[in-house]
Amino acid sequence: MNQFKHCNTNKTYDPLNSYSVAINERPSNGAMSSGRRNKRSVGEHTKYWSVGKTLKVLVYKLDEHSFEAVKNGASKWLPYINLNFEFIEMDEKDINATDEFLGDIRVDFQPSFNNAGSSAVGTDSLAGHAHDPSMTLGTNVSSPDYESLITHEFGHALGLDHAHQHPDAEIPWDREKAYVHFENSANFSKAQVDANVFPLERVPGRTYAPYDRYSVMHYQVHNELTVGDWEQPLNKNISEGDIAFMRQIYP
């Protein structure tokens, strides 16, 4: 069975700062999304980067393989977006020696994040402190699923939400079993399960499209966590739906 990759999206505690940063980055982030638009996934419409921008990706130095893993996993998005990445690797002490934002996206590594990751959504990475990482990955770089986890986290960093949380997904979760599973396997509280696993409310400010169960932004769903017979294997690759959505966000 594939390892389940857990992901806890980082929520900003200052919505006004988040909005200000997003509008400064891309003025159209302030426009409300029309329900008639043919989007192919779910995204934070108000947190997209400026089209054509080169995003600086600051990677905390870990070992000889970690930097290349981040580059490889993140770069899988590049054929489908009108953005570029500039990757920089630095020691933590050098990063902390300045109060400047050295990276639009800042990636560090924590052993406690084994088979897991966490990321700010889009421009929210600029709403925090310059010393704070906007993305955290585990240290199990040799895992065969590690690069797909990075691709998933960079989907968030580019503005995407979880595909399994699409309000039209209709995944028949056994909620009590899911709460227990994620508490045991990811140390998620009930609030974290609600925020990262179960469907999101349909609200203005997000863009929607037909639910895509094959998206790289979709959790693996074990059959024993659903009612009836419903499961979804781990999606390791960017789907056609992901590609279509990204091409509309970053034409």
For position 44, what pLDDT does the model report?
A: 54
The chain-wide mean pLDDT, for the chain, equals 88
- Amino acid 37: pLDDT: 42
In a domain, 152, yes or no: yes
The pLDDT of residue 4: 47
Q: Is pLDDT above 80 for 211?
A: yes
Q: Which domain CATH number covers 130? A: 3.40.390.10
The answer to which of 134-148, 149-163, 199-213 has the lowest mean pLDDT is: 199-213
Q: Can you tell me the distance from the alpha carbon of 179 to that of 106, in angstroms, rounded to the nearest whole number? A: 30
Residue 41 above 60 pLDDT? no
Residue among 200, 202, 187, 197 nearest 218 (CA): 197
Residue 145 lies in a domain: yes
User: CB neighbours of 5 closer than 8 A, spacing ≥ 6?
Assistant: 115, 116, 117, 145, 148, 149, 152, 219, 220, 234
Assess if residue 79 is contained within a domain.
Answer: yes
Question: For residues 72 and 31, which has the higher predicted lDDT (pLDDT)?
Answer: 72
Residue 101 lies in a domain: yes
Residue 176 has pLDDT above 50, yes or no: yes
Regarding predicted confidence, which is higher, 214 or 161?
214
Lowest-confidence segment of 100-109, 202-211, 226-235 by average pLDDT: 202-211
Q: Is the confidence at residue 161, as pLDDT, over 70?
A: yes
pLDDT at residue 128 tops 90 = no
For residue 137, tell me if it sits in a domain.
yes
pLDDT at 251: 96
What six digits make up the tokens of 123? 């421009």
Q: Given a cut of 50, is residue 231 above it in pLDDT?
A: yes
Q: Which domain holds residue 30?
A: 6-249
Question: 38 pLDDT exceeds 60?
Answer: no
Report if residue 102 sits inside a domain: yes
Of residues 57 and 185, more confidence is placed in 57
How many distinct structural domains can be found in the chain?
Answer: 1
DSSP string, 73-94: HHHTTGGGSS-EEEEEEE-HHH
Residue 124 in any domain: the answer is: yes
Q: Is residue 1 part of a domain?
A: no
